[in-house]
A and B are shown apart, each in its own frame.
Chain A
Amino acid sequence: MNQLKSSLSILWMMSRPSPGSKAVIALPAVAFALVTALLLIVLAGALSFYTNPAAEDPTGMAGTYQGLAAFAITLMVLPMLTLGGSAARLSARRRDERLSTLRLLGGTPALVASMTVVESTLVALLGVVSGIALYAAALPAIALIPFQGKPLGLAGLWLPAGVLVIAATALVLLAAVSAAAGLRQVVLSPLGVRTRQKAPTVHWVRIAAGAGAAAVLYGFMANLTASGTFAAMMVIVCACFAGGLALLNLMGPFVLSWLAGRALRRAETPARLLSARTVLESPKAAWRQVSALSMTSFIAVVAGTGLAVLSGGGEGGNPAEANLTTDMRTGVLITVAASFLLVAASAGVNQAASVLDRKDLYVSLDRLGMPRGVMDAARRRAVMSPVRIVTVGSAAMAALLLFPLTGAAMIFAPLSLLVIAGVLAGGIGLVWLGLAATGPVLDKVLAQT
């Protein structure tokens, strides 16, 4: 108790803003607000399918909707955890600068650790509370989204207070755990990446295994129509979906590292050289940051294609089935947009953390006369090129696996494929904006000299 009390009083003393510290607090808070708002909105949307009384389910499709809603939530978990984790790690970043000060004052590492966890948790709490406000503010717009032929409506979207409290508590706890885990990492390897002697290599076995699995999946998909029933087709599509995702995660780091190696050899400008080396420094980390997009992009194409075919050949189907197709498309678009939003925020937070981590290097490059534009281009390219590779690559892989269906969709419903492409392009733009938002952090770092 005494420990906590002294932690809190010292925390209060040391929480005065220092250069760059505003960003260290604001960015994770914004990130947590975004995660909270998106989680609550998705949860509200999903739960609205559960709380509808059975009497209002004349079509008997409630079960399908509930299943799809649960699936959509599952898809959002990974990007949410990624963003929550990076936000908490950025909060924990201030530990280093305090450690030396506190040691002079006689503080123990445990005190520093508890202070950091307490602060990260408070920042998360601030973000979560703002997120609840953001959720409430966004509801009127969300209520207009049509499902089952009519707008969702405000009434069904208000989450019960109990659910709000549980969700908020879970997020704050996640922040505390991530911050503590981040500290553990720092303790285990204080110099981190900087001391690594050789850039890691990713083994080619991943590619061989991946190619084999792709061939098997392709075989399944090619015989899709032979299976006859709709249910059997859905089972095969789901199996291929899961297999495809596993495949992407297996091959992702290798592909990123291979392409970055090619980019490195061809690099003619400082920005291209630096960005290729940044990806090669840790292809797995580069992959982790964008892996959520591989899933999203893959789903967007699989679902988009399937739905395009269903709606294209859907003449004569009953209105409820037509609604289901439209609604699934809406659901896919929402899930894709939300995932991009999460990845954009996570990329922004990670970049801010990286600029603060390497401020001495940036200052020295500025002194050498490296133009600010070159620094920005290098930072941007190091994130955007994996984003592009992952988004386009996953979409292409999904299109290839579903080739019979993609081909059909191109003929029956080219517009819905264009919409999917547009959403993916918009998502890439969103990540770009997330990175651009970190410009002021670099400004502050360079202005400190």
Chain B
Amino acid sequence: MTTSTAILGARSLAKRYGAGIALNNVDLDVFPGESVAIMGASGSGKTTLLHTLAGITAPDSGTVNYAGTDVTALNETQRSKLRRESFGFVFQSGLLVPELTAIENVALALMLNGVSRRDAEGQAAAWLAHLGLAGMESRRIGELSGGQAQRVAIARAQVTGARIVFADEPTGALDSHTSADVMGALLDATAGRGHTLVLVTHDPTVAARCSRTLYMHDGVLSPVAPARPALAPQGNPAAGTTFLPQAGPAPQEQNWAGRP
């Protein structure tokens, strides 16, 4: 693996929260067009890793490099600008602005970058249509189903043309059927267009659709699943039984994205 072509590279990342180690000497390279799933139990450090890569959280030590920019050297305002202009985000429960309509939620991302309202809404409408939401532009978020709201979030993450999208449990609040649909839409909108997707998930079926799966365990990132499912969440038998069969890295070049 060479760093020269990586769009996102992390070196020796370390982060502690009190006595807990969230990131322990983490190295990672993410290449353009890849979809990388980071799996791990609650508290394994996977969300901290995602936040550090995306410039939301600053590491205690180590560096993150995005397309030649040392993200860790930027101040809060510069990181905010980088997130706004170059990154897209999809969160577990959409976290769309409830008062705004679908199209306004998507257009907001462009308007924050100074695009005029008319242009922003034009591009937003095209993205909503692309994601199967034509005719729902003026619906408020409360009028959409969970899956539809996640599609709006995907449109918001990609309408700016962000080359990399960070997704935190993007299907965590959805049933399995809707989850598969949304995951398809997310891969299609990102890796399917040559962009990069980094996602954090508990769900092995979601991870299996990505081109590469990595595992976090006690702050350590590894291409191999932990030997025992010791960290499977209690009270969730599905996680316990399905974690193991997914052990081992997914084939590097495998593409499940269903590119158009």
Contact B87 A369 (CB under 8 A): yes
* CB within 8 Å for A194 and B142 given contacts A273-B104, A277-B104: yes
Contact A361 B97 (CB under 8 A): yes
Contact B142 A369 (CB under 8 A): no
B132 at the binding interface (Cβ < 8 Å): no
B193 at the binding interface (Cβ < 8 Å): no
| One of B6-14, B111-119, B220-228 at the interface | B111-119
Contact A368 B97 (CB under 8 A): no
* CB within 8 Å for A195 and B112 given contacts A267-B117, A273-B117, A277-B100: no
Contact B98 A368 (CB under 8 A): no
Looking across the interface, which residue of chain B has its beta carbon closest to that of A267? B117
Q: What is the CA–CA distance of A195 and B98 in the complex, to the nearest angstrom? A: 9
Q: What is the CA–CA distance of A195 and B144 in the complex, to the nearest angstrom? A: 11
Residues of B contacting A195 in the complex (Cβ-Cβ under 8 angstroms): 142
A270 at the binding interface (Cβ < 8 Å): yes
Q: What is the CA–CA distance of A131 and B142 in the complex, to the nearest angstrom? A: 42
Residues of B contacting A361 in the complex (Cβ-Cβ under 8 angstroms): 95, 97-98
Among B83, B85, B89, B112, chain A packs the most CB atoms within 10 A around the CB of: B112
B140 at the binding interface (Cβ < 8 Å): yes
Instruction: Tell me the chain A residues, 251-284 only, with Cβ under 8 Å from chain B.
Output: 267-270, 273-274, 277-278, 280-281
Q: What is the CA–CA distance of A367 and B79 in the complex, to the nearest angstrom? A: 10
Looking across the interface, which residue of chain A has its beta carbon closest to that of B157? A368
Q: Closest Cβ of chain B: how far from A360's Cβ, in Å?
A: 6
A196 at the binding interface (Cβ < 8 Å): yes
Contact A369 B85 (CB under 8 A): yes
Looking across the interface, which residue of chain B has its beta carbon closest to that of A369? B84
Q: What is the CA–CA distance of A113 and B91 in the complex, to the nearest angstrom? A: 33
Instruction: Tell me the chain B residues, 142-165 only, with Cβ under 8 Å from chain A.
Output: 142-143, 156
Residues of A contacting B54 in the complex (Cβ-Cβ under 8 angstroms): 367
Q: What is the CA–CA distance of A369 and B157 in the complex, to the nearest angstrom? A: 12
B: number of interface residues (CB 8 Å): 31
Contact A449 B57 (CB under 8 A): yes
* CB within 8 Å for A198 and B143 given contacts A274-B97, A449-B56: yes
Residues of A contacting B117 in the complex (Cβ-Cβ under 8 angstroms): 267-268, 273
Contact A368 B83 (CB under 8 A): yes
Q: What is the CA–CA distance of A360 and B97 in the complex, to the nearest angstrom? A: 11
Q: Write the residues of chain B forming the contact surface with A, with a CB cutoff of 8 angstroms.
A: 51, 54, 56-57, 77, 80-85, 87, 89, 91, 93, 95, 97-100, 104, 108-109, 111-112, 116-117, 140, 142-143, 156
Contact B140 A198 (CB under 8 A): yes
Contact A273 B112 (CB under 8 A): no
Looking across the interface, which residue of chain A has its beta carbon closest to that of B107? A273
Instruction: Tell me the chain A residues, 361-420 only, with Cβ under 8 Å from chain B.
Output: 361, 364-371, 374
Residues of B contacting A371 in the complex (Cβ-Cβ under 8 angstroms): 77, 80, 84, 112
Contact A369 B91 (CB under 8 A): no
Q: Closest Cβ of chain B: how far from A300's Cβ, in Å?
A: 33
Q: What is the CA–CA distance of A270 and B57 in the complex, to the nearest angstrom? A: 25
Residues of B contacting A281 in the complex (Cβ-Cβ under 8 angstroms): 99
Contact A270 B142 (CB under 8 A): no
Residues of A contacting B108 in the complex (Cβ-Cβ under 8 angstroms): 270, 273-274
Contact B98 A369 (CB under 8 A): no
Q: Closest Cβ of chain A: how far from B114's Cβ, in Å?
A: 9
Contact A367 B112 (CB under 8 A): no
Contact B143 A270 (CB under 8 A): no
Q: What is the CA–CA distance of A360 and B81 in the complex, to the nearest angstrom? A: 20
Instruction: Tell me the chain A residues, 163-215 only, with Cβ under 8 Å from chain B.
Output: 193-199
Contact of A274 among B51, B83, B100 (CB under 8 A): B100
Residues of B contacting A270 in the complex (Cβ-Cβ under 8 angstroms): 108, 111-112
Q: What is the CA–CA distance of A350 and B156 in the complex, to the nearest angstrom? A: 29
Contact A369 B112 (CB under 8 A): yes
Q: Closest Cβ of chain A: how far from B69's Cβ, in Å?
A: 14
Residues of B contacting A267 in the complex (Cβ-Cβ under 8 angstroms): 117
Contact A369 B111 (CB under 8 A): no
Q: What is the CA–CA distance of A385 and B104 in the complex, to the nearest angstrom? A: 21
Q: Closest Cβ of chain B: how far from A24's Cβ, in Å?
A: 22
Q: What is the CA–CA distance of A281 and B95 in the complex, to the nearest angstrom? A: 17
Q: What is the CA–CA distance of A361 and B141 in the complex, to the nearest angstrom? A: 13
Q: Which 10 A-B pairs have the closest CB atoms?
A: A369-B84, A369-B83, A364-B95, A277-B99, A281-B99, A369-B80, A197-B142, A270-B111, A197-B143, A268-B117
20 extra A-B contacts, CB within 8 A, seeds A273-B117, A277-B99, A368-B156:
A193-B98, A194-B98, A196-B142, A197-B143, A199-B140, A269-B111, A270-B111, A270-B112, A273-B100, A277-B97, A277-B100, A278-B99, A280-B99, A367-B54, A367-B83, A367-B89, A368-B109, A369-B87, A370-B80, A371-B112
